[in-house]
Amino acid sequence: MNMKMNERTGNFISVLAVYFAANVIFIMSPAMNSIATNLYPDIEYGTVLMLSTISSLFMIPGSLLAGAVLGKEIGFKQMAVISLGGIVIAGVLPYFITNFTVVLILRIIVGFCIGLGFPLQSTLALKLFNDNERPAILGKATVAMSCGAIFYMLVSGTVCDMDASYVWLVHGILIVPLILVVIFLKEPEKIEESEQVEIKDAKNEKLPMLAVITSGLFMVVFFAFYPVLLNMSAIVEQEGLGAGAVTGIISSLFTIGNAIAGIIFAKVYKATGKYVIPVGLVFWAIGTAIFSFGNHIAMIVAGVVICGISVQTVWPGIINSFSQYVPASKQSMASALFISGMNLGCFLTSFYITGVAELTGNADPRLPCQIGLMIVVVFAVIWSMIEIKRKRSE
């Protein structure tokens, strides 16, 4: 009994460790101006920004590759070590290397390795915990992910004031979750031949179309919502609502909203009768509306916090729903597709913002948010109808 309990505790620690590492990309957010000014003053600022955006782009192939091989060609612990170890090595090396092209290549590796970890996080929660335990585990994992993001941004912002190059060393923090995974993570049990009566050949199983549709809907909604986060500083500063420090505080409130969602997710899941995704989408649209049309700082703060809570209600809700209709052999790929859709949406948003300004001749940073709100509402309604129909059919 004690051995079983110790194993479950070890699994829980491992899940928290890999979720804590999920937002390591946020290390770059507070430091980009310092890196551009102090480390690469002779390179155009837009080019220096690629040190962050290129990582986001290469998370996509990393996620898809991990989804295809995780639990098959490569074990869960092996994937965790490759992902976390790769981030640490490629993340820290730019401290010792000054050539911009080499650093850019290292940032590609960092993004790819972050991508390798995304299906791992979701699939571990699906495979190591049962239906009753999982909502609470996903909620606590969300808190760990949000705390990681806050921690990375605070440490990064602090060290870049000392020396911009110290930002690269912050990636070494992931040595801690790497050690925890090596010590505690137990490989999920494989299906024995006697248990494969219904699944004669897992390779012949297909990824349900609903999982593909869900990933596509999340991509569109996140794409339409993301201008809220990208244009936040411009709105606050241009409208005289506060200085850069105010924007930093508001940005952290989004992450705090994520953490609040993690704390209450299990209760929300129970209270909504498993209609947690439609409920989350409704509040996501409400939060986006409050931010997009709020004309003073209190409304912007309220919109950001509501969006933060909503996003991290929908996200674990989706991951948990995969256990209900996605075959076990395809859950890693479903998670990979879901995460890849989100990252693609984030990457495309910068083009969307530029396109709106060029097509309308209006550079108001609120406009992409307001147009995006209409997209969020339309697709949230479509998605909610699909989820409600699925639940009723069950």
CATH number at residue 224: 1.20.1250.20
Tell me the residue range of the domain where 13 lies.
Answer: 1-188
Residues 162 and 209 occupy one common structural domain: no
Q: What is the pTM of this model?
A: 0.74
Tell me: do 263 and 290 sit in the same domain. Answer: yes
Could you tell me if residue 245 is inside a domain?
Answer: yes
**Same domain as 210, residue 95:** no
Question: Per-residue pLDDT for the chain (394 aa), expressed as one digit of tens each?
Answer: 455 667 778 888 888 888 888 888 888 877 777 788 889 888 887 678 788 778 888 988 998 888 888 877 788 889 999 999 999 999 999 999 989 999 999 999 999 999 898 888 878 877 888 778 888 888 888 888 888 888 887 888 788 878 889 999 999 999 999 999 999 887 776 544 334 444 444 556 788 899 999 999 999 998 899 888 777 767 877 777 765 556 667 767 888 888 888 888 888 888 887 789 999 999 999 999 999 998 888 898 899 899 999 998 998 889 888 888 888 878 888 888 888 888 888 778 878 888 888 898 988 889 989 999 999 999 999 999 988 888 777 6
Same domain, 142 and 282: no
Together in a domain, 177 and 306: no
Shared-domain flag, residues 147 and 264: no
Domain total in the chain:
2
Query: Is 197 a domain residue?
Result: no
214 falls within a domain: yes
Within-domain flag for 4? yes
Last residue of a domain, one of 155, 188, 221: 188
Q: Are residues 8 and 120 in the same domain?
A: yes
SS (H, E, C) the chain: CHHHHHHHHHHHHHHHHHHHCCCHHHHHHHHHHHHHHHHCCCCCHHHHCHHHHHHHHHHHHHHHHHHHHECCCECHHHHHHHHHHHHHHHHHHHHCCCCHHHHHHHHHHHHHHHHHHHHHHHHHHHHHCCCCCHHHHHHHHHHHHHHHHHHHHHHHHHHHHHCCCHHHHHHHHHHHHHHHHHHHCCCCCCCCHHHCCCCCCHHHCCCCHHHHHHHHHHHHHHHHHCHHHHCHHHHHHHCCCCCHHHHHHHHHHHHHHHHHHHHHHHHHHHHCCCCHHHHHHHHHHHHHHHHHHCCCHHHHHHHHHHHHHHHHHHHHHHHHHHHHHCCHHHHHHHHHHHHHHHHHHHHHHHHHHHHHHHHHCCCCCHHHHHHHHHHHHHHHHHHHHHHHHHHHHC
**Same domain, yes or no: 272 and 376:** yes
Q: Are residues 49 and 128 in the same domain?
A: yes
**267 and 385 in one domain?**
yes
